[in-house]
């Protein structure tokens, strides 16, 4: 049943937003009509260029550039909290803006702005100001068009009145090329090329404290996109804070995708940013860019930091490999056993670590979780036999080759754990390709990917004893 009182309250609020918008818009147009009026540029507006590697790189226009979009509303109203604190009293009053704040203070919706706090009215003023600024850059500086005004203001109204905020999670995939512009993984997930507007908008997400290098953050042409997310919030500040700090279940969902991507392709990949894109609502704008929240992370190999975005040699995911990514992505979502989750976590760690020794240990732990049992005697021998038996199900590798690979991996593990490797002289430098265990690391990661793939396709053998019974013991008596 429709709550008529709530509907009328929302309509009244929208009319108040319209009046405040029209008032400020008219004042700015008056200034624009003055030939002698100077409008400073948005020096923090980002630019985007393409490197020879095919990856984008973004930067701000900068203080000395005069080519950025004009800051029209700034002649009357600052667009940041710092500006609000340092801005002198405006040369004219805005009574409709004051009425809007008064209306909010007198209603329950005003609690969402925490209007009892000092300077809290700035949030309301800023919503109106950024809406006018967006309108001017999106639709021009001509006479007001009510339809276009609605396109800007309706998302603002939804940002004020709702208490559950739908968002799309977008994760730029660092230093990885894709053969398709868009590829669906499931009903609510896909890989897609990032539009220019979102590329520019995401460049404004704060990097401080993350350790991520700006070049890596920028260098993504495609993103993993997951829809149908929402976040409850009771205040406007809570919306911003919550979406700028994605919750653990969001990060876990992202890890599932990257595990599927790595298992299917072996790509050296990762991510440096998680973007939260509002769906049909907003609590403010920046010029003409789409609203985006999010955080920066350092979930990628160290090698990316060494100008990995500038040259060649990055991973390329083909259309055929994307089919495998989709297959594994959906199989992972269908198998939520703890041992699968642990193995996938170890795969992600193995393929992003800088140290080959740590990567080998990650891979062997993953293999032991999947193929080991409660009896630790002759562990490496049992793992070799079980991996070889599973290879029969795949049909892509000889069981004897798989057994030999697992044996090689565990010989390296034994040397690492027991310190059997002959040490190099302490002060003798090594060429990168001469670093120890590089080949063993690649073999270990490849074997873990192989076993994960088989067990996701044949989940009955997630019980190692079932491997023994069906694939080792029974065939021996046939």
DSSP 223-245: EEEEEEEEEE-SSHHHHHHHHTS
Go through the chain and tell me how many residues it has.
478
Q: Please classify residue 175 by burial: count the beta carbons closer than 10 Å to its beta carbon, then call 0-12 exposed, 13-18 middle and 19+ buried.
A: buried
- Residues of the chain with confidence (pLDDT) below 50: 81-83, 85, 89
Same domain, 138 and 64: yes
Q: Does 274 map to a domain? A: yes
Q: Does 195 map to a domain? A: yes
Same domain, 401 and 449: yes
Task: State residue 5's pLDDT score.
Answer: 78
Residue 74 CA to residue 27 CA, distance in Å, equals: 12
Residue 463 CA to residue 448 CA, distance in Å, equals: 16
Q: Does 202 map to a domain? A: yes
Give the domain-ending residue among 334, 364, 381. 334
pTM score of the predicted model: 0.91
Q: Is residue 254 within 8 Å of 275, Cβ to Cβ? A: no
Give the domain-ending residue among 142, 161, 180. 161
Containing structural domain, residue 98 = 4-50+60-161
Same domain, 181 and 299: yes
Q: Is residue 314 within 8 Å of 176, Cβ to Cβ? A: yes
Task: State residue 269's pLDDT score.
Answer: 96
Task: State residue 432's pLDDT score.
Answer: 59
Q: Does 71 map to a domain? A: yes
Task: State residue 431's pLDDT score.
Answer: 65
Residue 293 CA to residue 242 CA, distance in Å, equals: 9
Same domain, 210 and 260: yes
Same domain, 8 and 155: yes
Give the domain-ending residue among 117, 132, 161. 161
Task: State residue 107's pLDDT score.
Answer: 87
Cα–chain center distance at 287: 23
Same domain, 325 and 341: no
Task: State residue 425's pLDDT score.
Answer: 58
- Predicted confidence (pLDDT) per residue in 14-29, tens digit: 999 999 999 999 999 9
Name the domain count of the chain. 3
Task: State residue 6's pLDDT score.
Answer: 78
Nearest Cα to 315, choosing from 281, 363, 244, 266? 266
Q: Does 12 map to a domain? A: yes
Same domain, 192 and 324: yes
Same domain, 282 and 260: yes
Same domain, 147 and 31: yes
Same domain, 194 and 142: no
**Plot region of 322 (φ>0 → left; ψ -120 to 50 → alpha; else → beta):** alpha
Within 8 A by CB and 6+ apart from 391, the residues are 397, 398, 399, 401, 402, 450, 454
Same domain, 415 and 341: yes
Q: Does 55 map to a domain? A: no
């Amino acid at each position: 049943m429709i709550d008529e009182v709530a509907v009328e309250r929302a309509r009244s609020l929208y009319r108040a937003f319209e009046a405040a918008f029209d008032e400020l818009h008219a004042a700015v147009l008056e200034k624009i009509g003055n030939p002698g009026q100077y409008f400073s540029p948005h020096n923090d507006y980002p630019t985007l260029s393409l490197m020879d590697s095919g990856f984008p790189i973004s930067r701000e226009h900068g203080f000395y550039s005069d080519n950025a979009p004009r800051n029209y509303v700034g002649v009357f109203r600052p667009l940041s909290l710092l500006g609000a604190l340092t801005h002198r009293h405006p040369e004219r009053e805005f009574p409709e803006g004051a009425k809007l704040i008064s209306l909010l203070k007198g209603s329950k919706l005003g609690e969402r702005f925490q209007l009892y706090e000092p300077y809290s009215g700035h949030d309301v003023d800023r919503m109106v100001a950024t809406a006018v600024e967006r309108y001017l850059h999106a639709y021009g500086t001509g006479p007001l068009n009510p339809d276009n005004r609605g396109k800007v203001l309706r998302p603002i109204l939804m940002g004020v009145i709702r208490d559950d905020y739908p968002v799309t999670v977008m994760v730029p995939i660092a230093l990885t090329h894709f053969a398709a512009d868009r590829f669906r993984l499931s009903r609510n997930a896909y890989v897609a090329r990032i539009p220019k507007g979102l590329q520019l908008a995401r460049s404004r997400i704060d990097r401080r404290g993350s350790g991520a290098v700006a070049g890596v953050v920028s260098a993504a042409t495609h993103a993993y996109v997951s829809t149908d997310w929402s976040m409850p919030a009771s205040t406007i500040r809570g919306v911003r804070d919550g979406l700028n700090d994605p919750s653990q279940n969001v990060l876990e969902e992202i890890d599932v995708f990257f595990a599927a991507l790595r298992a299917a392709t072996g790509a050296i990949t990762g991510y440096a940013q998680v973007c939260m894109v509002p769906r049909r609502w907003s609590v403010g704008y920046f010029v003409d860019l789409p609203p985006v929240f999010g955080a920066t992370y350092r979930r990628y190999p160290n090698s990316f930091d060494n100008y990995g975005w500038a040259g060649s040699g990055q991973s390329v995911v083909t259309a055929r490999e994307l089919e495998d990514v989709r297959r594994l992505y959906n199989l992972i979502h269908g198998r939520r056993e703890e041992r699968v989750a642990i193995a996938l976590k170890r795969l992600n760690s193995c393929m992003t670590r800088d140290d080959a020794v740590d990567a080998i240990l990650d891979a062997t732990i993953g293999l032991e979780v999947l193929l080991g049992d409660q009896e630790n005697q002759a562990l490496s021998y049992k793992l070799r036999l079980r991996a070889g038996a599973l290879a029969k199900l795949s049909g892509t590798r000889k069981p004897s080759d798989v057994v030999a690979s697992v044996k090689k991996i565990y010989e390296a593990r034994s040397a690492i754990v027991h310190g059997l490797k002959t040490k190099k002289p302490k002060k003798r430098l090594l060429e990168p390709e001469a670093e120890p265990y590089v080949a063993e690391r690649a073999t270990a990661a490849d074997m873990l990917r192989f076993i994960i793939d088989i067990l996701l396709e044949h989940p009955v053998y997630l019980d190692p004893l079932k491997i023994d019974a069906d694939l080792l013991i029974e065939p021996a008596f046939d």
